[in-house]
Amino acid sequence: MTGMLGSQVAVAQALRLLEAISYAFATRDWTALRALYHDEALILSVAGGDRLLTPDELIEMLAAIEVKRYLTDDAETDALDENAVIVAGLVRERHAVEITYTPSAWVLTFKDGLVWRSRAYHSVEEARAAYAQAGIDLGMPG
């Protein structure tokens, strides 16, 4: 039972970390957001395109763009295990003339209680398959 309880505690900690990330992003508290990422973390984000970002590069990019341009509507979170969560929702992107909605799913993995890897995918199925295949590093350099 201890193993199961330990796993439940780890999942709860991962979900709390995700809540802290969401809050820091929503309030544009870039210092708090940066503190939630491991120093050696790597991120592939929607806003960053195919560019692999460090936590400092991610924060610099987010601070430079208008956050209201990129919003995640009605995101749902599911813990894959104690090392990873998947967040799925629609990314709403404002352009000068229109607003587009793109379904996305992000896998965030954790190391030392911080975000280790974060990667955006086109669907929940693709995200689950990538984590099942690549594990905690999500196929990025380890």
* CATH architecture of the domain formed by 2-137: Roll (3.10)
Which residues in 84-105 are b (16+ Cβ under 10 Å) and which e?
Answer: bbbbbbebeeeeeeeeeeeebb
Instruction: Render pLDDT for 43-92 as a digit per residue (tens, 0 to 9).
Output: 998 777 778 999 999 999 888 876 555 555 567 888 888 899 898 887 76
**In Å, how far are 21, 57, 70, 105, 121 from 91, measured between CA atoms?**
16, 21, 6, 9, 12
Instruction: Render pLDDT for 15-38 as a digit per residue (tens, 0 to 9).
Output: 888 889 888 988 889 999 999 999
The reported pLDDT for the residue numbered 66 is 63
The reported pLDDT for the residue numbered 1 is 43
Contact 65, 46 (CB under 8 A): no
State how far the Cα of 61 lies from the Cα of 88, in Å rounded to an integer. 22
The reported pLDDT for the residue numbered 63 is 86
